[in-house]
Chains A and B, each alone.
Chain A
Amino acid sequence: MSAAETAHAGTAAWDWVTGVAQWGVDNWSRPGEPDRGIRPRLVQHMRLAYVSIGIGLALALPLGLACARWTRLYPPVLTGVNVLYAVPSIALFFLMLPYTGFSEWTAIVPLSLYTLVILLPNVVDGLRQVPDHVRQAAVAMGFGPLRRLVAVEMPVAVPVIIAGLRVASVATISMVSVASLVGLGGLGQLILTDGFRRQFDAPIVVGILLTVALALVTDAVLVLAQRRLTPWARRDRSRRARAAAPVGER
């Protein structure tokens, strides 16, 4: 490639980047069509994802508690959740249409159910990894069953539950886009309607970038939340340093 050709390719690439950016700025909101700007789609994407994750967690906690308490319940429940996850999301969205129409519930109900495949095992494992001596100590101190669950077992399970929540959040944020096939889907609409159908790559690129950014920001928020909620579980270098040189005698 000659220097002129390289320079030309460079200019073309730069033009493409500025073009995409310009499209993003121009279409952030469209005063004429309030539903079709980038901003309302981002907001819808967040709403669909967060409500689904919230409902999923609200279902996974009691279900997980029940499965940890009555262990025989766990295998059939887990199989059920796995089978549900095996149903393609598009199919589930279309199956919902007769019941929920084009309301956002058409996306939220399947997405909530999908999060269970990650959240439920994490809730159960989180409760199961509470060391037996800790549980026994709680019994011996005089905790009743409910109090023990709320004050000891659940808090000790929090790091494992949040780890599941992080995976479920990223997966859900990515899957919301598929709901654009039934006219929902937040940023997915940019990709499908504005980009793919019109053979126009700026909306596709903007849609992907914003989806990735949303996933990263959500994950970061969860990491921070975990640090705040479980200062006791921080396994950092200072911990090893302390272990090597404990205060006072051993």
Chain B
Amino acid sequence: MITFEGASKHYPDGTVAVDGLDLTVETGATTVFVGPSGSGKTTSLRMINRMVEPTGGTVRIDGRDVRDQDPAVLRRSIGYVIQQAGLFPHRTVLDNIATVPLLLGWRRAKARARAAELMELVGLQPAQARRYPHQLSGGQQQRVGVARALAADPPVLLMDEPFSAVDPVVRTTLQDELLRLQQELHKTIVFVTHDIDEAVRLGDRIAVFRPGGVLAQYDAPERLLAEPVDAFVESFIGYDRGVRRLSFFPARELSPRQDTVFDDQTRAEDAYDIAAGHGSPWVLVVSAEHMPLGWVGTEQLARVPAGVPLGDLDLAPYGHTFNVGTDSLRAALDAAVLSPAGLAVGVDDDGRVVGVVSQDDLGTAIWSVTE
């Protein structure tokens, strides 16, 4: 547990970076500090490992004031991942990762063996051990940064905008990997970002900082999105917080319909009769294995000569699908909005069609869960 008790950082020129921060970071959870620049989130993070010394108040780790320890010794027990990775350019990937174990006085062979273990943990290939940092891509460098921070198995991990310098695709991958690692390792992670989406994705708890170094709100992500405490938090979270909040509700709540799903051997006139019967403007054509093939309009079916199977028609692409078992309402809504038919295709883990969900059905489900 990390506790900030009235922690402040006032600079001699009058600038206030952090003002009277009271906050408790839970052990084994990911706490995200988020806020615009100049809100003191990085300064607060750096108070934990004494890279910034507070001018008032105290910071404790498990009840012990961080000022009781020599800074260099303290820092070796706290993992740190910095923006742009901060790798040592003159050391190989393996030796970069072994940095803290070596500082702690481990034998070189043991430190390197540990480093090799970590390379595997963060998804780096053994062949990359003897590379130098400049020979790696940004995403790989950041993996090395995470491995280096974890090398001495510290209970606390500080991450200062670690993924902000990589492109969005790689960033999403790295976020997924961090979530996976955290499920395995249960570190006490303090993560700084200015990206609220990243905060919502990664955080068990989110602390929103406002300019001037004041804590605006400290809550679980669902509650933050549902009940921002004031106009600043609301505007910082963004106008689409309602949609983002849907990512906390599972798509299991939906009941996908099967009566407009036909296999590709069905004759067009039979499909037309059934679809027209319940007024559905589109039908979804699937293969014999129930894999989605595409959409066809009921109007078009009316013009097709009798006896032609659905599989022979020109089908509109089925677009995005969502996994009924694992995805959220947000993914289902996204699939519906992007579908040419305005209907979301729900699939199981093997990609087989479970049924389709209309925007009306989605609206009802959203209204009932967010009520």
Contact = CB atoms under 8 A, between A and B. Distances in A.
Contacts of B185: none
A247 B127 contact: yes
Contacts of A136: 51, 82, 86
A136 B125 CA distance: 27
Contacts of A140: 49, 51, 75, 80, 82, 86, 158
A242 to B, nearest CB: 6
A225 to B, nearest CB: 15
Contact of A133 (B76, B83, B137): B83
A250 B103 contact: no
Nearest to A152: B88
B135 A242 contact: yes
Nearest to A139: B51
Query: Main SS of the interface on chain A?
Result: helix
B85 interface: yes
Nearest to A230: B90
Interface residues of A, number: 28
A246 B140 contact: yes
B103 A232 contact: no
A183 to B, nearest CB: 45
B90 A239 contact: no
Contact of B136 (A134, A230, A231, A246): A246
Interface of B: 49, 51, 71-76, 80, 82-92, 99-100, 103, 124-125, 127-128, 132-140, 145, 148, 158, 170, 173
28 contacts: A133-B82, A133-B83, A133-B84, A133-B86, A137-B85, A137-B86, A137-B87, A138-B88, A139-B51, A140-B49, A140-B158, A141-B99, A141-B100, A141-B103, A142-B73, A142-B103, A156-B88, A158-B90, A232-B132, A243-B135, A246-B140, A247-B127, A248-B125, A249-B139, A250-B137, A250-B138, A250-B140, A250-B170
Given A137-B85, A155-B90, A233-B89, 12 more contacts: A131-B84, A137-B80, A137-B145, A140-B49, A142-B71, A142-B74, A142-B100, A142-B103, A232-B90, A232-B134, A247-B128, A250-B138
